[in-house]
A = this chain, B = another copy of it.
């Protein structure tokens, strides 16, 4: 059974065929978040702090950290991103004890992230592009970390799922040349918007099964892409995630502060027999009750997780 082991300072998270679905929180990312980008340039990290705490309370098991901001004061990300990545990682791992996912297209930022990270982070990402393979795989090997492999290459993103499979296979083979095992490659088969490509859902379900059976790889995806451009997209996401989980997908990079998606994932974990005695579902149902009582999902989740730590603390104190 394939297991991809991630670590924070003191916690281990396993992405695996026999594990609950791994939710990788996507919020700490200034790309497309102008307000957050401006805050970061001004040295204000309050949103990052809030996003870290809130995502973990809502059920993120790993936090993606992306420092892809273009400063008005310095438009060269090769200069600005590495120190910002380091700063954000230090900040986040000071606040939460959760493995991180170092997310950048700037090699220097990946390197800076790897240096700053405690434990065993996930590196995000390598593609099938030759230049990228040659830059990223040595880092993966040197730091002995798992890596997200996105199935596009120098020819771009193919609409043909067989081509995307072959790109993934090439990355796994190339990684093997470096001595990196398949269980440390988490493949992103690329989710297309179903509104633009009617076969997008079925493509991913089939690809995930093949990646699992033929390459022995764990998988991930940018889940919300499936519903891009559609009305009531959270309804699409909340059906997509259980279907992908049923097909064998083992993680997603997504927003854990959305109730419907998290409810769908927790129910799917239960239905996949990855929630012993439904304990997680029953705990989660208390959060849903608090939401029905008028709280926001983030508030209800934070309050539930604070109560849980309080209870644990209490027991320790009595011991």
Contacts and interface: CB of A to CB of B under 8 A. Distances in A.
Contact of A278 (B230, B238, B278): B230
A198 B235 contact: no
B201 A231 contact: no
A278 B236 CA distance: 11
- Decide if the interface of chain A is mainly helix, strand, loop or mixed: helix
Contacts of A273: 198-199, 201-202
B198 A230 contact: no
Nearest to A202: B273
B239 A201 contact: no
A232 B285 contact: yes
B226 A239 contact: no
Contacts of A285: 231-232, 235
The oligomer's copy count stands at 2
Contacts of A242: 239-240, 242-243, 246
Interface residues of A, number: 39
Interface stretch (A64-72, A143-151, A262-270, A293-301): A262-270
A199 B231 CA distance: 35
Interface of A: 194-195, 198-202, 205, 226, 230-232, 235-236, 238-240, 242-243, 245-247, 263-264, 266-268, 270-273, 276-278, 281-282, 284-285, 288
Q: Sorted from nearest, which 10 A-B pairs have the closest CB atoms?
A: A201-B271, A239-B267, A231-B285, A243-B246, A239-B242, A232-B285, A235-B263, A242-B243, A246-B246, A239-B268
26 contacts: A195-B278, A198-B273, A198-B276, A200-B271, A201-B270, A201-B271, A202-B271, A202-B273, A230-B282, A231-B281, A232-B285, A235-B263, A235-B264, A235-B266, A235-B285, A235-B288, A236-B267, A236-B281, A238-B263, A238-B264, A238-B267, A239-B267, A240-B242, A240-B267, A243-B246, A246-B247
